[in-house]
A and B are shown apart, each in its own frame.
Chain A
């Protein structure tokens, strides 16, 4: 601002100054020239009179300081010169002013003198004897005039510069100061600047626009962050060079990255070859996925290229935890293999016996034995299929099953009664203790729990052992406890007995019977009732299984 004002005011000042100097010079120059010339004429006339009267002696007493006096003979040779030696000077007959003087009596001219290197005015007059007297004077040129005025001009120019600078800075300050004091936060609230009101209105509308846009942006950002931060899946956004643009909490935790990871290269965070391959693939614009192990869990990492206008400006990495999925798949595979195996075993027996019978290779007296075998094996298969159906129902969830109030003690009594024949065969005493305890549950499942636990307690018991079933209410929980004096379960197997088809002693499974699914059903049923299962077992001494059902308020109130 100051600079501009300074420049323009300086240009104005200097140009005015130059113009006036030129004007004055032009006028003055002509004025001075005229004066010089008329003076020269006068002096020439005077000198001519002098020479006519006094002859050559006039020159001795002459007092003409500024003038150069030359006396020329009729033939043009120089008789006298006030500056040079007359003998050395050339013939002057051809000079313009001399020629004029010879013919007209007077002559005038002006030219550059080759001897003096200056512009001269010449004035000549013919004397009565025919000789010519010439006077000349150096004419001061415009340049020399100007040179003479150089100092004052410089001073004036300097003053002009300083003045225009001071003026410029004061002016710009004066102009800018109120502008600086404008309230730009609220532009329409400024008074006294009517000329600027379009600008203010524009400012105001732009401010409004910017504010709404930034609010919108912040909102979007916040939405994006809320979504990504609360995801359990890791998500990373990369640009085409592999620099991290955005990384959510889960991904940062998985990759062991720090908060400052944004702006780093992804390879600085995870440099595994799988990651590099994923990035290479997505760089080509292809979707890629790999299973990677991160932090002890298995993740499926998807790399999806962001494609826009045929280029790949970035990549999105998505990490999904597939540990459980893979485990579940593994379990399902094992289950299927086990089921087929378990179903095949009785079928072999049935098919073998039936084949012998059909071919008539069995003696009539042996037929009952064979048919009994077919019957028991078929029964076993039925049990097995029933258990599998039960389990698959449990897998589906308890939604389809009816919840109602059940007396656990009553139920346990029924079960122990139904098992009395088996316990007698095994030589095991079964006892029921406790009190009537009501709870809200699914009767079929509760029955399965008690049945399977008691059945196991009898099966895996010593001859002469006991099974004590206790049902009681303890504060807010209903307790079902099945205690036996059986063979016990080794510590290393305790975690696995609830798996489907798992058996501690695999070699004797056929003698003992059972499907290997009992405890698995118990586990599921207990889970569906939100109950807790506790197992306490010592090898050779016995096993105690306790199921704790949490009683809701309505259960306790109904008692």
Chain B
């Protein structure tokens, strides 16, 4: 009985890692599409997001089955409930990557964007998502905490981007539309960062049992 439970927990673990990898792939692909200005690449995000949505449902039903059939306690219960919450955040990350890809595929004058601040935001959010999944795999509290702290970097980047785009609009009102698109993209990155923070918090919860009281910004 117990060994079956352990097997199912291992399966849950594996599924979560796979889902994390899919999220990373989705953001990386969206970023690549943005930097290359390639609409084809952007379209590649859609099937990945579909996979992510499917995985969310699979993992949820697996968690429910575990909770009902095995009635876990203590650490196991924490792990499963954290997994339940984490898939929601991961699914949102996938959705936002898809939103970014969608904006890219509808952007009018699609020129390769060499906006350094957005580049940096991309890098920072990809790092955050990668680190939060790594923290989950390695059960690394320190890494999870560094993800939570790193959110400030992304927030700073967002403010910079906002200011820069404002200057662009002021100097050239015709560029307003694409500037607004870029602002939306930046906002989505910022949200992805927040979700990565949530994942990191759930990682800490599943290890220590303490949930940091930090409201979503």
Contact = CB atoms under 8 A, between A and B. Distances in A.
B22 A267 contact: no
B13 A276 contact: no
B137 A276 contact: no
Nearest to B7: A241
A273 B17 CA distance: 11
Contacts of A265: 10, 13-14, 17
Interface string A268-281: 10011100100000
B137 A268 contact: yes
A242 B13 CA distance: 13
B133 interface: yes
Where chain A touches its partner, the secondary structure class is: mixed
Interface residues of B, number: 12
B50 interface: no
Interface in B87-132: none
A175 B20 CA distance: 65
A135 B18 CA distance: 103
Nearest to A275: B21
Contacts of B10: 241, 265
A273 B21 contact: yes
A257 to B, nearest CB: 11
A242 B25 contact: no
Nearest to A269: B137
Interface in B1-45: 10, 13-14, 17-18, 20-22, 25
Which of A241, A267, A271 has the most chain B CB atoms inside 10 A of its CB? Answer: A271
B5 to A, nearest CB: 16
A266 to B, nearest CB: 10
Nearest to A241: B10
A272 B137 CA distance: 13
B21 A268 contact: no
A273 B20 CA distance: 10
Nearest to A258: B138
Contacts of A268: 17, 137-138
Interface string A253-265: 0000000000001
Contacts of B18: 267, 271, 276
Interface in A266-298: 267-268, 271-273, 276
Interface of B: 10, 13-14, 17-18, 20-22, 25, 133, 137-138
The list of the 5 closest CB pairs from A to B, nearest first, reads A271-B21, A267-B17, A268-B137, A271-B17, A273-B25
Given A271-B17, A276-B21, 10 more contacts: A265-B13, A265-B14, A267-B17, A267-B18, A268-B17, A268-B138, A271-B21, A271-B133, A273-B25, A276-B18
